[in-house]
Amino acid sequence: MVFDSLIFSSYINSLDNNKYLFTCITIILLIELIIISVEDIKHNIIPERFCKITFATGVLAIVSGIFYSSWQTTFSKLINHLFASILAITLMTLIKKISDTIFKTNTLGIGDAKLASIGGIWLGIKGIYIAMTIAFISASIYSLFMIIKGYFKKLQAYAFAPFISLGVFFVWIFGENWWIQKWWHLWEFKL
């Protein structure tokens, strides 16, 4: 029951009509994100082949919506998600270049920018914004905790892909509207 309610709360309305398809796509996304995260943790690199596979799977997930909605809706969603993907990789690359210049060290890998782009294709503009906010906040908390405990030095590198993956997966499962409502409720804004 709880799992069904999570599935139907997703913002992918066109896939909600077929919870089994959505469940299969969700499992594939989860496996891909786990593989990418483990690779980044073990080797500090996200292999190109995993990026290409996960990106292609995201496109297929969008296109599969044509079976449950009009081609105009599917095409519109595809354009939104492609734009989100381009915007995510552009912004992450810009953040990388600026922070590398300021801190004189490699702060973000290009694989992190590619993973953000993958998140964009899966989630769209609002979704990737929320996912990256979750990623940066959770990574900051983790980093602060590790510095306080003495496990990390200031500006020590660590894998960022698990945090991006966490954000992408949570937004995929709960949907962007759920996160927006929780954020507004947290700060007690009235809509």
Q: Where are the domains of the chain?
A: 2-186
Alpha-helix residue ranges (DSSP H) falling in the chain: 2-8, 13-16, 19-43, 48-63, 71-103, 110-148, 161-174, 176-186
For residues 127 and 117, is the Cβ–Cβ distance under 8 A? no
Tell me: the pLDDT tens digits for 25-52?
999 999 999 999 999 999 999 999 999 9
Reported pTM: 0.85
For the stretch 158-188, pLDDT in tens is 999 999 999 999 999 999 998 888 877 666 6
CA atoms within 13 A on the CB side of 93: 9
